Amino acid sequence: MNERIAWLIGVLAAIAIGAGLYLTRNHFREPEPQPAPPVESPPAEAEPAIRHPVPQPAAVQPEQAPLPELAASDVPLREALSQAVGPDPVAKFLVPDGIVRRFVATVDNLPRKKVAMQIRAVAPTPGAFVVGGSEEDFTLSEENYARYAPFVQLVESADAKQLAALYVRFYPLMQESYEGLGYPDRYFNDRMVEVIDHLLATPEVKGPIRLTQPHVFYEFADPRLEGLSAGRKALIRMGSENAATVKRKLSALRAEIAQRRPSG
């Protein structure tokens, strides 16, 4: 795989749905963000349980810059990405500020009802949202699925081992950011694996996807679909073929980062 593509995928698609997450906000109703459930900390003397310890990083090369501080990581990260893939893809996909914090917050919120606009790590999917059918029977037009093609092609070409290596390289900043969200005794990689499993369990929807428009925004007509999480809805909106590609890459990435702590 082209190493330059791997760098872009590693940051923008480690959760494998980044750019495909968002339809134009004026088309689908977004529920009010719900506060995260309270975090119950273990007793002070107890160590946090880690189910999936991050693999040990490869040896740092002499020419490799040291990991920056979280607060100063945007510029080095954007520069590294621009050198690897050119400035255009970085400008197209990446929200330029708070990159690590946005990524971690987005991952944490995917199993919930909403990923708030202000924390999203990537730009909205380009192109116009298309509704099919009639006013009496709206459907999600298959023309929308082509909007995700460039992203899905990048995901499909990515190498899971290279993705995992980049994830491990920047993991200390992700853990720091996760603790800053209010999880001082939680392990971000455990949450990452949990979210991947949640997305892999997204139901496959065959046939036309019916919509309704009770007010301004569209909703899924099927209450079971409308009640799904933000991440699962995102996969469904991409279309079944695109979603299957993303799921395959998610599964491969999970195999690389979901090492279990040895027993005993």
Instruction: With respect to residue 264, please indicate whether it lies within any of the assigned structural domains.
Output: no
- State percent of the chain over pLDDT 90: 39
Question: What angle, rounded to 10 degrees, do the helices at 149-157 and 240-257 form?
Answer: 30
Instruction: With respect to residue 124, please indicate whether it lies within any of the assigned structural domains.
Output: yes
Give the pLDDT band of residue 81 (cuts 50, 70, 90): low
Instruction: With respect to residue 111, please indicate whether it lies within any of the assigned structural domains.
Output: yes
Give the pLDDT band of residue 261 (cuts 50, 70, 90): low
- State percent of the chain over pLDDT 70: 74
Does the pLDDT at position 52 exceed 60?
yes
* Predicted TM-score of the model (pTM): 0.79
Total domain count, the chain: 1
Question: What is the rounded average pLDDT of the residues 44-58?
Answer: 73
Q: If we measure between CA atoms, which residue out of 94, 121, 99 comes closest to residue 8? A: 94
Instruction: With respect to residue 243, please indicate whether it lies within any of the assigned structural domains.
Output: yes
Q: Tell me the pLDDT tens digit for each residue of 154-200.
A: 778 777 887 787 788 889 999 999 999 999 999 999 999 999 999 99
* HEC assignment per residue over 42-87: CCCCCCCCCCCCCCCCCCCCCCCCCCCCHHHCHHHHHHHHHHHHCH
Q: Which domain holds residue 165?
A: 3-32+52-57+68-257
Query: What pLDDT score was predicted for residue 89?
Result: 66
Pairing label, strands 137-140, 219-220 = unpaired
Query: What pLDDT score was predicted for residue 175?
Result: 97
Query: What pLDDT score was predicted for residue 27?
Result: 52
Q: Who wins on pLDDT, 19 or 63?
A: 63
Residues 101 and 180: their CA atoms lie apart, in Å, by 9
Q: If we measure between CA atoms, which residue out of 106, 110, 76, 104 comes closest to residue 90? A: 76
Q: Tell me the pLDDT tens digit for each residue of 27-46.
A: 555 454 444 554 444 444 45
Query: What pLDDT score was predicted for residue 26?
Result: 37
Does the pLDDT at position 128 exceed 80?
no
Q: For 140-257, where are the alpha helices, taking DSSP H only?
A: 149-157, 160-180, 188-200, 223-226, 230-238, 240-257
Instruction: With respect to residue 42, please indicate whether it lies within any of the assigned structural domains.
Output: no
Instruction: With respect to residue 263, please indicate whether it lies within any of the assigned structural domains.
Output: no
Instruction: With respect to residue 47, please indicate whether it lies within any of the assigned structural domains.
Output: no
Q: Out of 10-24, 49-63, 119-133, 179-193, pick the least confident.
A: 10-24
Instruction: With respect to residue 40, please indicate whether it lies within any of the assigned structural domains.
Output: no
Q: What is the mean pLDDT of the chain?
A: 78
